[in-house]
Amino acid sequence: MAYLPQELIAKKRDGGTLTSEEINFLVHGMTNGAVTDAQISSFAMAVFFRGMEMDERVALTLAMRDSGDVLDWSHLDGPALDKHSTGGVGDNLSLMLAPIVAACGGYVPMISGRGLGHTGGTLDKMDSIPGYTTQPDNETFRKVTEACGCAIIGQTASLAPADKRFYGIRDVTATVESIDLITASILSKKLAAGLDGLVLDVKSGSGAFMPSHEQSEALAESLVAVANGAGTKTSALLTDMNEVLGHAAGNAVEVATAVEFLTGEAQDPRVREITLALCADMLVLGGLAPEAESLAKVAEALDSGKAAEKFSEMVTQLGGPGDFVDRYQDHLPTAPIVIDVPALATGTVSAMDTRAIGNAVVALGGGRTNPADPIDHAVGLTHITDVGALISKGDPLARVLARDEATAQEAARRVTAAINLGDAPASRANVYRRLAPSAGGV
């Protein structure tokens, strides 16, 4: 049935509930150009202020998923599983998670994004590896996933094209911060990957995408409910982002810490707890292990070195160096300027403005404020102190890796301003809550 876009926009503007047929019409028009940019922005603003019912969120997600190709992994001898993070600073968990789950018998066809704003992007990190192809053709993507059990690549133009147009318009019309639209945007791309199970890592804290714990929790609940309503078994962990995850932020530096984690050379306890918790949930969703045994199984896959082998295979098959895991320091780009950021006083690290730390990396050239901005993969921060650490005056708060002295000093200034010394902070959980894939979504 044909509709007039303006009538559907008016219906939502006035607080009405759109049918799945009406939503399908709008999304089809986004894809083929029949709905104009002005109409899309008006629809987004109407949803921003009026919201959507759960059935509308599910219908919008499915319509955007089905606007392009939907991959099929039914021929595999194991479940197709994936994880999505809402973004943070120092969040390189995907690089460890994919090979760990692959080492446990799952398949992880991970379609990742680039960083924007203060959060880093998994794809930008993988681009630090010389020769690694982050945009392979679909046939190569399938072959590598089948051979290695995992492949970390970027979104192709044929996956959820309606979302690409819709998000581009939302980005310039102040309608990004809508839980209804964020939910559909995230899930349409992930569900187009043809998954049997999905685990969501929803961040909460000063470095998270959502500005408050309550909003992070609401987003997690929406994502789980809509994904399960759309037919994909999905759970979520609400995890802490009140400080940098691990001790590095940047692109090449986070790849280095991922390799060190996989080989056992160095493992941050917070990173290990959250990574293994996400992996264990993926195994449960995929039927690869009962809940009581899942954590031990993923820990064994990591500690035995099997996951490191999977990562090495994936890098090699996607064009990276065959000896990357053994000689990652020789292959990753390095920055010419290295300075430590000294503490200006003695005290306890009481809090960290994690978003400001992420913006320090952006100021170095390691992130982007515009999607077309180039990335300097070598720059970043390492040896970032922990919240709760006892610091003496002159001790390093972090180490800056920069392209030149001016940007190094600017990053050092930002780091100093972002780390507060004061009273000992209250203890925080690394995982605040788990949302199970129940029929109701939570």
Q: How far is CA 41 from CA 48, 232, 376, in A?
A: 10, 29, 33
Q: Is 82 one of the annotated active-site residues of the chain?
A: yes
Determine whether 204 is an active site residue. no
Structure tokens of 248? 């590095």
Look up 233 and say whether it is catalytic.
no
What's the length of the chain?
442
Residues 6 or more apart whose Cβ sits within 8 Å of residue 284 = 235, 290, 291, 294
Task: For tokens 């922990």, name the residue.
Answer: 386
DSSP bridge pairs for 184? none
Q: CA nearest 162: which of 22, 39, 61?
A: 61
- 12, 57, 190, 233: which is the annotated catalytic residue? 190
- Choose the catalytic residue: 114, 170, 233, 310: 170
Among 61, 86, 122, 204, the active-site one is 122
Calpha distance 115→366 (Å, rounded) = 9
Examine the residue annotation and report whether 189 is marked as an active-site residue of this protein: yes
Q: Which of 85, 94, 175, 312 is catalytic?
A: 85
CA-to-CA separations, 48 to 3, 51, 64, 299, 357, in angstroms, rounded:
22, 6, 18, 42, 30
- Angle, CA 234 vertex, CA 317 and CA 108 arms, to 5°: 5
Residue of 112, 178, 185, 275 marked catalytic = 185
Among candidate residues 126, 82, 120, the one with its CA nearest the CA of residue 324? 126
86 φ/ψ angles, rounded to the nearest 5 degrees: -80, 0
112 labelled catalytic: no
From 83, 233, 297, 355, active-site residue = 83
Is 196:159 a contact under the CB 8 Å cutoff? no
The DSSP 8-state label assigned to residue 144 in this structure reads H
C-alpha–C-alpha distance, residues 429 and 90, integer Å = 18
DSSP string, 106-135: -BEEEEE---BTTB--HHHHHTTSTT--SS
- Active-site annotation holds for 143: no
- In the set 66, 82, 196, 201, the catalytic residue is 82
Annotated catalytic residue 185: yes
Q: How far is it, in rounded angstroms, from Cα 156 to Cα 137? A: 8
CB distance 420 to 216 below 8 Å: no
Collect all residues with Cβ–Cβ distance below 8 Å to 365 and sequence separation of at least 6.
374, 375, 376, 379, 403, 407
Which residue in 189, 247, 331, 377 is the catalytic one?
A: 189
Active-site residue among 12, 57, 65, 84? 84
Structure-token pair, residue 349:
């690290």
Tell me the catalytic residues: 82-85, 122, 170, 185, 189-190
